Amino acid sequence: MSRHYPHLMTALALCVLPLAACSTEPIQETSAQSSAAAPTTGATPSSLPAPEVPGDGTFPAIEDVDRTDVDSTARAAAILLHSWDTAADRTETAAAIRAKPLMSDEWAVHQIEPERNSSQGAWLDPTSHRAYSRAQAVPAIGDVTRDVAQDKAVRAYKVTWRWASRDGEPAEGTGTRHVTIYLEKHSGAWEVVGHQSHDLPAGEDQS
């Protein structure tokens, strides 16, 4: 018996090695699964796809504007000019481009996006939340608003806006502007032939 002992130990050792190797496989598999399940680096707002509809459908619809009414046309234009979606727009002018159907052909061609957004600093926080603006327009105080002729008019508004975020976190920033809209009536429909605006200090009620 004793002479077979070395052979028996060798055989046992050969059997133990595969078992030991097999015992490590579940640990390696679990590690691989954990690695695969580990969350990847979070997507940045700029890497996410643009929304199908800017403002998630909250911006004024061009087709709903009563073009036979000067005030309806002017107010819609004032709001649209300040309806921005940071998840889709590169500059403020993107809003003016969406409002081009309310403009004359001559004024519409002037709506060209600049290379840089002049409001980039004010858009930083809203952009991090993929926010869009919620604008409101009320008639401005003063004598700027007037009917120049039967087919020409000027309307002035105080436009204010805040940001609505898409991630559930509040987006900082609000704004107030005095906006002047110049309109002319052609073939029974009012159209914007010019507009200008300037920022108002926060909380200013007078225009």
Give pLDDT, residue 115: 81
In tens digits, the chain (207 residues) has pLDDT values of 444 434 433 443 444 444 344 344 433 322 233 333 333 345 566 567 888 899 999 999 999 999 999 999 999 999 999 999 999 999 999 999 999 999 999 999 999 999 877 777 899 999 999 999 999 999 999 999 999 999 999 999 999 999 999 999 999 999 999 999 999 999 999 999 999 999 998 655 444
**Distance, CA of 180 to CA of 174 (rounded, Å):** 20
- Strand partners of residue 160: 136, 176
3-state percent helix, strand, coil for the chain, nearest multiple of 5: 40, 25, 40
Six-digit token string for 22: 């097999």
pTM of the model: 0.75
Note whether 43 and 117 are within 8 A (CB).
no
Q: Which residue from 42, 41, 39, 54 is spatially nearest to 130, judged by alpha carbons? A: 54
Residue 44 identity? T
Give pLDDT, residue 203: 58
**Distance, CA of 198 to CA of 142 (rounded, Å):** 15
82 Ramachandran zone, left/alpha/beta (phi>0; psi -120 to 50): alpha
- Residues with Cβ < 8 Å from 158, sequence gap 6 or more? 137, 138, 139, 140, 141, 176, 177, 178, 179, 200, 207
**Distance, CA of 37 to CA of 114 (rounded, Å):** 43
Count of C-beta atoms within a 10 Å radius of residue 207? 18
Six-digit token string for 14: 């050969």
Give pLDDT, residue 37: 36
